[in-house]
Structure 1
């Protein structure tokens, strides 16, 4: 640093790096976008690619895997919010937790994969709350307690 002019140039570089993050398209060699979704103890791996709107979970069609209509609705929320119904084929593998947690994990994964494939959808999905990982998990059991917080029944005699 010979003089103060080089310091001024350094300051503009620092200011430019504090700008908002630029989200870029992330696509693999097969033209798919991959994301991991999580909820409770369930973890979902989701791949999306342009197609006819077919959704498969662990090798099964999604109405077959998630029999309850509420879980099917949860699964499709980000697709409808982004107005991309019938435009992407979704393939997901999900493990851990129960069906409700798995549906939430797949929803989270689909949302993230959509933003990786089409970064312009991020504001819509963010506003809908689909990109936020629901961090609520079951509280651990403590010693001297029947469950996490419930005490054993008190006996006077």
Structure 2
């Protein structure tokens, strides 16, 4: 009985993504490899459904936004491998990758997604810590005496 439960957790989710478009999305220190094809609207992230992978409702809304903008929320299946960074960076990287893959699939989506700035990489990242400072910009407390 116990072996049956553990074996179901260890089996890799096999998805058929032949005839799909591939794109890479990036945000902060996260990288998302995205495969997109016509389907029923399922979104898989690292082998899990995106509802299970992301806890925040904000991130879930963010991921489905490119599909809502092109009025096809259930028209495509997505398989995505994400690594690096935290949930916000990973969600942003997925949005970037999905948008790029949609443009590869159909050029007519480009203007819609571009006006919402989803095809452009968001280059903002954490500023590095400088020597002689407590954080990136914060100084140590000044002592007059």
TM-score (normalizing by structure 1):
0.80
Could you tell me how far 1:123 is from its partner in structure 2? Answer: 0.7
Q: CA RMSD in A?
A: 1.1
Residue 36, structure 1, aligned to residue 18, structure 2: no
Deviations 1:28-55 (CA, angstroms, capped at 9, x unpaired): x921000000111111000001111000
Describe the SS at the equivalent of 2:22: strand
Matched, 1:60 2:52: no
Pair 1:139-2:139 in alignment? no
**Secondary structure in 1 matching 2:23:** strand
Instruction: Give me the whole-angstrom Cα distance separating, in 1, the residues matched to 2:67 and 2:31.
Output: 19
Distance 1:48 1:65 in 2: 18
Q: 1:5-154, aligned counterparts within 5 Å?
A: 30-154=18-142
Report how many residues are paired: 129
Deviation for aligned residue 1:119: 1.2
How far 1:82 moved relative to its partner?
A: 1.1
Which 4+ residue blocks in structure 1 deviate beyond 3 angstroms?
none
For residues 152 and 68 of structure 1, what CA distance do their matches in structure 2 show? Answer: 35
Structure 2: segments with no counterpart, 5+ residues: 1-16
The equivalent residue for 1:19 is none
Q: Distance in 2 between matches of 1:130 and 1:54?
A: 20
